[in-house]
Amino acid sequence: YEAKLQNSGYQLFNSDIIDTFNRKLDLENELRWAIARNQMFLHYQPQVNAESCRMEGMEALVRWNHPTLGQVPPGEFIPIAEESGIIMDIGKWVLKEVCVQLSRWLADSFDVPSIAVNLSARQFMAPDLVSSIRDIVRGTSCSPQQIVIEITESSSMNDIESVLPILHEFKSLGFQIAIDDFGKGYSALGYMKQFPIDILKIDKSFVQELISDSKSVVITKTIIDMAHGLNLKVIAEGVETTDQLDCLRKMACDIVQGYLIDPPMSPDRLESRYWIGV
Ligand code: C2E
Ligand code: MG
Ligand code: MG
Ligand code: MG
């Protein structure tokens, strides 16, 4: 009986691996065509002042709508795009799209302070990253000051020697820089003083435990105080409840982003919620 159980367990395990493997191969093949076939689009999530709720900026988040696979979440396809190198093309497409959207909004007098774009660690390995991003922005009526580059704490700390000079180049061109998912990786605090950062984004795992876990309160408070001491703005991500918002306000968190305020949404919907006509 035991042998039989083990045997079936093994087969189950085995076919699971094959399914996962096939799904990954399918996604990778399909991903190569996704931009050309117009399957990619962007959603934007507002980032608002914690006190006044005025919009301070927004984050662009890529979406993939495949005709048969359906909506594939970024958590699933971004890692595949990174491994296969397709992230290079996706990254350029995202930035171009953001600049076109921002130019359109500004032309319509929809006063969007800035839009944040996520960059993967893999993109930092391309020798032409800075020049290609600079050229994309130059080709539009946007300026680098209106673009925030988000890089995760783990990818920035991973290879500090090569990432640091690139961040300085971005900074000298006028781009803003945000460290994403802060607190989730191994924070090498000593490097904080070398990094030309404008914004720290507290990882949503801390925000979501604010009410249930007193240690998360201490950690979040410490991150906010440190950031303010370094003259950085703090964004709390993943804010889902008013209790969390109240708690963040008490800690003097500058900006909040999360489902409580608004989920990521289409440009049309965002306009209808935030644009005050002139
Ligand atoms: P991220 O940059 O940390 O983005 C925040 C994620 O949290 C987004 O997930 C957003 O939809 C989600 N979120 C927002 N508010 C809440 C909330 O209140 N509660 C919860 N539980 N989640 C919330 P999404 O859109 O699925 O993206 C996942 C990750 O994929 C992003 O994490 C980012 O690392 C990556 N990603 C998304 N778009 C791009 C892109 O254009 N380029 C690159 N390289 N990565 C991207
Ligand atoms: Mg982000
Ligand atoms: Mg320009
Ligand atoms: Mg994040």
pLDDT at res. 20: 83
pLDDT at res. 19: 83
pLDDT at res. 1: 53
Q: Is the ipTM of this complex over 0.95?
A: yes
CA distances from 43 to 85, 136, 149, 184 (A): 23, 20, 16, 24
Helix (H, G, I), strand (E, B) or coil at 40: strand
pLDDT tens per residue, range 50-109: 999 999 999 999 999 999 999 999 999 999 999 999 999 999 999 999 999 999 999 999
Taking all residues of the chain, what is their mean pLDDT, rounded to a whole number?
Answer: 92
| % residues pLDDT > 90 (the chain) | 80
Q: Please, what is the angle between helix 267-274 and helix 87-107, to 10°?
A: 30
pLDDT tens per residue, range 166-194: 999 999 999 999 999 998 877 777 778 88
Expressed in angstroms and rounded, the spacing between residue 180 Cα and the centre of ligand 2 is: 5
Higher pLDDT among residues 187 and 24, named by residue: 24
Nearest atom within ligand 1 for CA of residue 123: 44
For 243-271, what is the mean pLDDT?
97
102 class by beta-carbon count within 10 Å (0-12 exposed, 13-18 middle, 19+ buried):
buried
pLDDT at res. 3: 53
Higher pLDDT among residues 160 and 112, named by residue: 112
Indicate if the pLDDT at residue 121 is higher than 60: yes
pLDDT band at 10 (very low <50, low <70, confident <90, very high): low
Ligand 1 close to Cβ of residue 211 (< 6 A)? no
Tell me the ligand closest to 45's alpha carbon: 1
Expressed in angstroms and rounded, the spacing between residue 176 Cα and the centre of ligand 4 is: 16
